[in-house]
Amino acid sequence: MNPVIEGMNEILGEILTLRHGIAIESCVRDQGRILDTLLQVRVRVDRVEELFGRLLTARGQISRAAQHKRSEVSDAFDTALTRQRKSPVSLDADFLGAKERYAMANLEVLEARHKLRDLDEIASTADTIVEVARLNYRGLTDLRHDLLTMLRAAQFETTLDR
């Protein structure tokens, strides 16, 4: 596996732990517990934001590398076609059609195309990791919002009791 993807998976593992490692069932009615849990969630949200930024940076690097390789492959293909056209020696006495010339040029850049496919697969994996991280970040911010709502409701109930 690619070392960048391994690093991204480690970061994602920490995000998942931060997201799912907190329970709110025990603090539903107690304002003090709601506030303590809210503060814990705020710390977790801050950490997830930092980790999410790292994931986005890594995904961007992978995406740029894939785009750079895509440009290299395209340039190499164009160079191979140009070289064929300028070649004074014909490979075959028969006429070569466009499909044959393209096939020969493709064979010249075949290894680079394989590397590009590998980079595209890595980029796709990075996209998936970022989306899972985004989903968990949203879940954590939604949890924070729920806790704020519960705290406001508990305060409102307290003012009604007076």
The parts of the chain modelled with pLDDT lower than 50 are 93
Q: Where are the domains positioned within the chain?
A: 3-161
- pLDDT the model gives residue 23: 72
3-state secondary structure of 23: coil
Structural tokens at position 94: 């028969």
CATH number corresponding to 3-161:
1.10.287
Q: What number of other Cβ atoms are within 10 A of residue 121's Cβ?
A: 13
- pLDDT the model gives residue 34: 85
Record the pTM: 0.81
C-alpha to C-alpha distance for 151 and 95, rounded to whole angstroms: 81
The DSSP annotation for 91-107 comes to: SSSSPP-HHHHHHHHHH
pLDDT in tens, 95-128: 777 788 888 888 999 999 999 999 999 999 999 9
When computed from its CA atoms, the radius of gyration of the chain, rounded to whole angstroms, is 28
- pLDDT the model gives residue 153: 83
- pLDDT the model gives residue 93: 47
- pLDDT the model gives residue 91: 57
- pLDDT the model gives residue 88: 64
6-45 in b/e form (b: 16+ CB < 10 A) is eebeebbeebeebbeeeeeeebeeeeeebeebbeebeebb
